[in-house]
Amino acid sequence: MDKPILRIGAGAGYAGDRVPPAIELAEKGQLDYLVFECLAERTIALAQLERSQEPERGFDPMLAERMRAVLKPCLEQGTRIISNMGAANPLQAGHAVLAIARELGLHPVKVAVVLGDDVLSTLSASGLSLPVLESDQTLADLQSQMISANAYLGAEALLPALQSDAQVIITGRVADPALFLAPLMHHFGWTLDDWPRLGKGVLVGHLLECAAQITGGYFADPGFKNVPNMVQLGFPLAEVSASGDAVITKVAGSGGCVTVATCTEQLLYEIENPARYLQPDVVADFSQVQLRQIAADRVQVTGGSGSPRTDTLKVTVGYRDGFIGEGQISYAGPGAQARGQLALDLVRARLADAGYSEYEGRYDLIGVNAIADEPNTPTEPAEVRARVALRVPTQGHAQHVAHEVEALYLNGPAGGGGATRAVREVIAAAAVLMPRDAVHTSTVLLDSEGH
């Protein structure tokens, strides 16, 4: 440990996140690590589908754009990059990073690729009796529909990569906070059973993992929770000490804000039990966390802890779950709501005549009742958009649904326009727990010299 404070920034909070704030962090954040967290529950299943059709793909489609934007400033400042943009094909993603480095004339560049989260073959061979969480099914019930199975690796799996001299570390499915915990463990020498510090590291990771959510992006609510200069919204960074306590802040002059309120919302985001937040490395305890505003856009975070990790790892299973057929059409002017409702009634009846009554569906007037079950407009709306969507077993069924909506042009009420139709396959996600000793990880080192 040669630095008493480690600076870690969040370069992305999801796969489609904005790039300019990451550039700002890379250039002005004085970071030791820049982390891009880009995987959601279903993202990796969709990436597995892509890889099955194009073996050279299956990683984050924005990887090249992000690397072109931040690789040079990060290398110049000694900032290491960590990301799960490898998705379903981390090794190919690693080669893509090197291709960008060569394109930019940067050398030597080394990439460490963490493998082992893909456990589909393991589960298919011996894990089909595992119960599906929050369901009465077992994995065997989904076997014929399964596309992917990826275990949530912990920070432990990243340590060999961090112990190398790679400037970029690419992973597949890793627990989001673990991307931030790993460099803390590596830098400060925290052991695998230092539960209180590991819990604090998970807390730091949880606060940073959604990027702009903690700097005011998802927080903003005009008139109630005002956020300054959202046009130039900045992404957060943490200054972390060897104890695991931290200060959450952002680049000076960037838009947004870091306050106790923004940090509190993110602290509680997607947390079922703050006292037992199950992670691969530790069961984190956020129940005694204290947040204190110590300066403008600087919030001190203390009080995190943890207890021993479980013997299992969560696995997200992606599987095919039918198709959605959707159609939309707009109505405007006097009687728009009544004409929109007639359109929905017509499509519902025509689909019933075709035998579609048993399928799960939505018949909505957007702007009237698409979210609330009851109409929420006190006066007659000037315009509405009718939307029909059904989950059906085949692509042909889905096309039929979409066609019935589009056919309202001439077979429905007056004045319909702007019809759209969409057919998409449903890729669903389920979760199981598998023994952690059945998951085996490895690290592959790549460099720009072709080794």
pLDDT, tens digit, 9 for 90 and up, residues 407-433: 999 999 999 999 999 999 999 999 999
Residues 72 and 160 in one domain: yes
pLDDT by 10-residue block (mean), the chain, 451 residues: 90 96 98 96 84 89 97 97 97 97 94 97 88 92 92 98 98 97 98 98 98 96 96 98 98 97 96 96 98 98 98 95 97 95 98 97 91 70 96 98 97 96 94 96 88 55
Residue 162: CB atoms within 10 A of its CB come to: 21
Question: Among 295, 310, 325, where does a domain finish?
Answer: 310
Looking at the fold, whether 285 and 323 belong to one and the same domain comes out as no
Whether residue 436 lies inside any domain: the answer is: no
Mark which of 276, 310, 344 sits at the end of a domain: 310
Tokens for 258, please give them: 């870091």
- Give the integer Cα–Cα distance in Å for 181 and 284: 12
The pLDDT score that the predictor gives to residue 141 is 92
Number of domains the chain is built from: 2
Instruction: Please indicate, yes or no, whether residues 95 and 221 belong to a single structural domain of this protein.
Output: yes
pLDDT of amino acid 450: 58
Domain that holds residue 417: 317-429
In this predicted structure, what is the pLDDT of residue 374? 67
Are residues 285 and 382 part of one domain?
Answer: no
Residue 139, pLDDT score: 93
d(CA 16, CA 319): 22
285 and 248 within one domain: yes
Q: Which of 294, 310, 326 is the last residue of a domain?
A: 310
204 and 55 share a domain? Answer: yes
Query: Given this model, what pLDDT does residue 84 score?
Result: 98
Q: Exposure pattern of 302-338 as b/e (b: 16+ CB <10 Å)?
A: bebbbeebeebbbbbbbbbbbbbbbbbbbbbeeebbe
> Which domain CATH number covers 366?
3.30.70
Residue-level pLDDT at 44: 86
- Over the chain, what HEC string results? CCCCEEEEEEEECCCCCCCHHHHHHHHHCCCCEEEECCCCCCHHHHHHHHHHHCCCCCCCCCHHHHHHHHHHHHHHHCCEEEECCCCCCHHHHHHHHHHHHHHCCCCCCEEEEEECCECHHHHHHHCCCCECCCCCCEHHHHHHHEEEEEECECHHHHHHHHHCCCCEEECCCECCCHHHHHHHHHHHCCCCCCHHHHHHHHHHHHHHCCHHHHCCCCCCECCCECCCCHHHECCEEEEEECCCCEEEEECCCCECCCCHHHHHHHHHCCCCCCCCEECCCCEEECCCCEEEEEECCEEEEECCEEECCCCEEEEEEEEEEEEEEEEEEEEECCCHHHHHHHHHHHHHHHHHHCCCCCCCEEEEEECCCCCCCCCCCCCCCCEEEEEEEEEECCHHHHHHHHHHHHCHHHHCCCCCEEEEEEEEEEEEEEEEEEEHHHCCCEEEEEECCCC
- Residue 126 in any domain: the answer is no
Do 379 and 299 lie in one domain? The reply is: no
Indicate if 45 and 168 belong to the same structural domain: yes
Which pLDDT value is given to residue 367? 83
Q: Give me the half-sphere count of Cα atoms (radius 13 Å) on the Cβ side of residue 118.
A: 20
Residue 208 to residues 91, 178, 263, 432, Cα–Cα distance (Å): 26, 11, 9, 26
272 with 358, same domain: the answer is no
